[in-house]
Amino acid sequence: MAGVRTSREKWGNRIAIATVFVALIIMLTPIYWITATAFKPRNLATTIPPTVVFTPEVSPFVKLFTKRSQLRDQPTQKEYDAAPWWEQMVFDGGEKVVRNRKTGEVRPSGYADRFKNSLIIAITSTLLAVSMGTLTAYGFSRFKVRGEDDWMFFILSTRMLPPVVVAIPMFLMYRVVGLNDTHLGLIILYTAFNLSFAVWIMKGFIDEIPKEYEEAALVDGYTRMQAFFKVVLPEALTGMAATAVFCFITAWNEYAFALIMTTRKAQTSPPFIPSQIGSGLPDWTVIAAGTFLFLIPVAVFTFLLRNHLLRGMSFGAIRK
């Protein structure tokens, strides 16, 4: 802004700040509500007026990781006293933990397995999409390819397809080769899905890196490959980080393919979490706990790379 600040401008700024804060609060309220619900006892999740002040407890997480069974009566005092603290919490909610009778082992709900599947599939497919995308973007950026625009449009068009459209033939093909309900099956799908995005975004970044850098390296006796790895890649890191964030978010949260293509062994968390709503009555606390835990990796990843993300997006955008 130019030196003189009129009072009108000052007021404008104040209103802008106020609006932004209000918007921020509105945007974060649902997330706060999920987080709060993840630490509530079941009976406080659906009260009117809403329960805002409460003693946080971890019972939703205990329930999230265990298989439980609805009790028709309250447990006897003896049973209750004999149970460990976390099992008492489950009793308080009118349920009991299902155990192996012989060993007394607690039956897990399967959430941990789904979480692990999500990690394996999202991380692998992100790495693949970003690395292949970067190479291809470099290829399109630095070499002349006949019909470049058409190829780029072709690549983009693969992302336009609704997942269900692709899922029908993929389901039939996977059935033939036995890729249904496998990690590899989902990794392939997510990589294909994210690859087009990665190529498009990375091309924007690589176009921005001055060709002179490579030329200088080539003059210094680097091969083209060495120049790519030692000069171009370090420059493109910011863009790769931003792309990785978006690819990871997409793969981590994908629902339609996971719903159709996996049943158990390779099932990821998104189709699984809703199944934990409970049977006789809705237990929103468990859903909230599952969602809360599921948000952590992607939030951490995004926060770690946030500077790249913000800088990356503006960098890639300037050119366009």
Q: Which stretch binds another protein (CB under 8 A): 56-64, 76-84, 119-127, 249-257?
A: 249-257
Give 87 or 95: the residue with its C-beta nearer to another protein.
95
We find the least distance from the C-beta atom of residue 79 to another protein, in angstroms, to be 14
Name which of 254, 278, 287 is nearest 268 in CA terms: 254
**Out of 89, 130, 155, 241, the residue judged to bind another protein by CB under 8 A:** 155
Which residues 259-288 are close enough to bind another protein by CB under 8 A?
Answer: 259-260, 263-265, 269-271, 273-282, 284, 287-288
We find the least distance from the C-beta atom of residue 194 to another protein, in angstroms, to be 11
8 A C-beta contact, residue 116 and residue 108: no
Q: In this structure, what DSSP letter does residue 96 have? A: E
SS3 106: strand
**226 binds another protein, rule: CB under 8 A:** yes
We find the least distance from the C-beta atom of residue 33 to another protein, in angstroms, to be 6
We find the least distance from the C-beta atom of residue 68 to another protein, in angstroms, to be 7
Q: Which stretch binds another protein (CB under 8 A): 56-64, 76-84, 230-238, 296-304?
A: 296-304
Q: How would you label 104-123 residue by residue, b for 16+ Cβ within 10 Å and e otherwise?
A: eebeebebebbbebbeebbb
Which residues 36-75 are close enough to bind another protein by CB under 8 A?
Answer: 42, 45-50, 67-74
**C-alpha–C-alpha distance, residues 114 and 104, integer Å:** 24
Task: Tally Cβ neighbours within 10 Å of residue 70.
Answer: 12
We find the least distance from the C-beta atom of residue 82 to another protein, in angstroms, to be 18
SS3 143: coil
**C-alpha–C-alpha distance, residues 296 and 294, integer Å:** 6
Name which of 288, 276, 243, 253 is nearest 121 in CA terms: 253
We find the least distance from the C-beta atom of residue 246 to another protein, in angstroms, to be 9
We find the least distance from the C-beta atom of residue 125 to another protein, in angstroms, to be 12
We find the least distance from the C-beta atom of residue 19 to another protein, in angstroms, to be 6
**166 binds another protein, rule: CB under 8 A:** yes
**Out of 117, 238, 243, 291, the residue judged to bind another protein by CB under 8 A:** 291
**216 binds another protein, rule: CB under 8 A:** no
**Out of 10, 11, 20, 229, the residue judged to bind another protein by CB under 8 A:** 20
Angle between helices 284-304 and 111-142 (to 10 degrees): 30
**314 binds another protein, rule: CB under 8 A:** yes
Give 19 or 234: the residue with its C-beta nearer to another protein.
19
8 A C-beta contact, residue 136 and residue 226: no
**Out of 142, 208, 213, 235, the residue judged to bind another protein by CB under 8 A:** 142
**Out of 140, 187, 194, 205, the residue judged to bind another protein by CB under 8 A:** 140
**Out of 34, 83, 120, 127, the residue judged to bind another protein by CB under 8 A:** 34
Residue 23 makes CB contacts below 8 A (sequence gap 6+) with none
| Helix ranges, the chain (H) | 7-37, 59-65, 77-82, 85-92, 111-142, 148-160, 163-177, 183-208, 211-219, 224-227, 233-253, 256-261, 269-272, 284-304, 306-319
SS3 70: strand
